Amino acid sequence: MPIATADLKALARDMRVDVIRMIEAAGSGHPGGSLSVIDLLAVLYWKFLKHDPKNPDWPDRDRLILSKGHACPALYTVMAYRGYFPKERLMTLRKLGSPLQGHPDRLRLPGIEFSSGSLGQGLSVGLGMTISAKMDKAPWKTYVVLGDGELQEGQCWEALMAAPKFKLDNLVAIVDHNNGQIDGPVDWVMGIEPLEDKLRSFNWDVRSVDGHDLAAIEDAFARTQECADKPHAIVAKTIKGKGVSFMENDIAWHGSAPKKDDADKAVEDIRHG
């Protein structure tokens, strides 16, 4: 029985609380981009990814790479809620010996497909996985979640150029387009617009979606099935810090952890949002 969208929305709210609390406990981390990407990850992990939390190496699983690795608090939370590991472990984020590294580490945490954090590399790795699946005529898909600032890396465009050559219709790239990065708005740091036109001109199948509207996200993923022979890109318009009013669109919360009083306020905000 697939989860109802209203129930997933409630779960996403709970998970936002965990994201805030784990970053607070860690004393460092990236709340802004974690809160912008979490709805996308929720839809993927509950509605689309074929995976088995009890058997993370299942050969026919779909692969997901969080190329914007700094948003891993969102990924860890989603994984904990899906049963990859106990939720209590979320509070060990960034602590000595924890599998929950500051950026995802595949050798420390089963279920992580690629140790990311050095921006720009994930899409190429996703291409390699997808090519391998094509070679084996295997049924699984690869999903790669990228940041919009990340697209400033030249390697992304090498990968964007290469994917259509191999007709990778089993590859889905999702851009968390929150228009914020460390030094300021993406438009100001190094603009990437018109993004959808760029991707289309690179021969991708492209869709835009409100990255916080769960039903719309679900529809966008579902419609990737309609187009064969091309890799798929979903540009998700998101809000950095989404769900916490004082964090929303404030670049200061890209990479700083809330102290207790701010965290309490944030949790309150999420609960009443």
Partner 1 sequence: MAKATRESFGETILEAAADNPRLVVLDADLSKSTMTQAFMKKYPARHLELGIAEQNMIGVAAGLALSGKVPVLASFACFLIGRLENIRISAAYNKTNMKLVGTHAGIGIGEDGTSQMGLEDMAAMRALPNMVVLQPADHEETRQAVYWMLAHEGPVYLRLTRQKMADLHGPDYKWGFNKIDVVFEPAKKPAKYLATIVASGGPVPHAVSAAKELEKKGFAVRVANASTLSPFDGEAVARFAKDSQRLVTVEDHNVNGGLGSAVCEAACERGAPVPVVRLGLREFAESATPEELYEKYGLTAAAVAEACLKNLG
Binding region for partner 1 (CB under 8 A) = 59, 63, 106-107, 113-118, 120-133, 135, 142, 154-155, 158-159, 161-162, 166
Residue 248 CB, shortest distance to partner 1, in Å, is 31
Count of CB atoms within 10 A of residue 273's CB? 11
Query: How long a stretch of residues is the chain?
Result: 273
Q: Please give the Cα distance from 5 to 53 (Å, whole number).
A: 21
The per-residue DSSP string of 176-204 comes to EE--EETTEEHHHHH---SHHHHHHHTT-
Residue number, 171 or 217, with CB nearest to partner 1: 171
Count of CB atoms within 10 A of residue 204's CB? 21
Count of CB atoms within 10 A of residue 37's CB? 29
DSSP code for 255:
S
Q: Which residues pair with 237 in a beta bridge?
A: 177, 210
